[in-house]
Amino acid sequence: MVRKLKASQACPTLTKDAISQLPNDLTCQILSLLSTKEAVKTSVLSTRWRHLWLSLPCLELKSREFLDLKNFTKYIEFPNEATFETLVLCSPVLECLKIVVASDDEKVFRVHSRSLKRLTFERVSPFLFDSAGFFDDIYEVIVSSKISFIHKFLHGISMARSMKICRGTLKIMCHYSKLEPFPQFSSMSYLDITLYPRDFKWLPAFLESFPNLKYLALVMVCDDRKGGFSEDIDQVSFSSVPECLLSSLEFVELIAPVQYDVELKLVKYLLKNSAVLEKLILRLASYNSRRDYMLKKLLKIPRVSTKCKVVIL
């Protein structure tokens, strides 16, 4: 006669919490595969899990997911009404931090961390496009009212080695440079900038603050509803050549396809003035007639650097 065993007797390991037996390092690797919000939710599982998520090397905080920071800090049971600053300080191995906030969010985010290697601050705008003049006035007002804060922020990050700048941040930086001297980013070797054609005129002066730049990535944006770039090519000019083009810039990549003459004018400026450039990577329009037209013009552009290779994707 065969005696039936209970489930717990047949497979004793089923009654054990296998995940809780894992070492913290491995558990943190598993948590890192989750979103920050999902990782925080694991803090209610047990005492051991309560602060485990704070050992994650990367955090992504979105204001729309944590609408009330006060309730959020109570949820994770800080000993007092913690601020964003405390949240970062309580993450001793934090290496990567991404903050996503709404355009009208006026919170001040202070980040103090010895372990942090990468900080991304993204402000989500409700506007789908920019309008010349109107939004320039808004940026001027923002800079004028926050000039002391912007000064501290820029000087606080002046030792960064890589940076990605969205179009709105670029506008703020350029308007700030009209009022106060822009700090030197001497350690910066990689720079990624999103800009419109009307921003081209600021580029040479802006790059003066990055004297040792080696890699420049540009994302040139247009609004198709305006029929491409509305700016007249004659209105776009480059008044100077920054130090990095003459002595350090080795790689340039244009992320978005080059489709218009005004974009080609920027390419010409870079090729004619980047003395040590080794490679320029660009993409052309996919439709044949425009691609052939841009290719013919591109091949006629002289290059000041004898080592420069142009890679067309």
pLDDT in tens, 161-207: 888 888 888 888 888 888 899 999 999 999 999 988 888 888 999 99
pLDDT in tens, 271-296: 999 999 999 999 987 777 788 888 88
pLDDT of residue 149: 83
The three-class DSSP label of residue 282 is strand
Mean pLDDT of 25-32: 82
Q: Which of 9-23, 27-41, 122-136, 165-179 has the lowest mean pLDDT?
A: 122-136
Other CB atoms within 10 A of residue 39 CB = 21
- The answer to whether the beta carbons of residues 254 and 267 sit under 8 Å apart is yes
pLDDT of residue 275: 96
pTM here is 0.65
What mean pLDDT value characterizes the chain? 76
Distance CA 158, CA 187 (A): 8
pLDDT in tens, 205-258: 999 999 999 999 999 886 543 444 445 555 667 878 999 999 999 999 999 888
pLDDT of residue 160: 86
The three-class DSSP label of residue 156 is helix
The yes-or-no verdict on residue 18 having pLDDT over 50 is yes
Closest to 114 measured CA to CA, from 95, 133, 142:
95
Distance CA 28, CA 14 (A): 23
Compare 125 and 52 and report the one with higher pLDDT. Answer: 52
End-to-end CA distance of the chain: 74
The yes-or-no verdict on residue 131 having pLDDT over 60 is no
Compare 23 and 64 and report the one with higher pLDDT. Answer: 23
Q: Which domains does the chain have, with CATH numbers?
A: 17-126 (no CATH), 131-313 (3.80.10)
pLDDT of residue 144: 80
The yes-or-no verdict on residue 74 having pLDDT over 50 is no
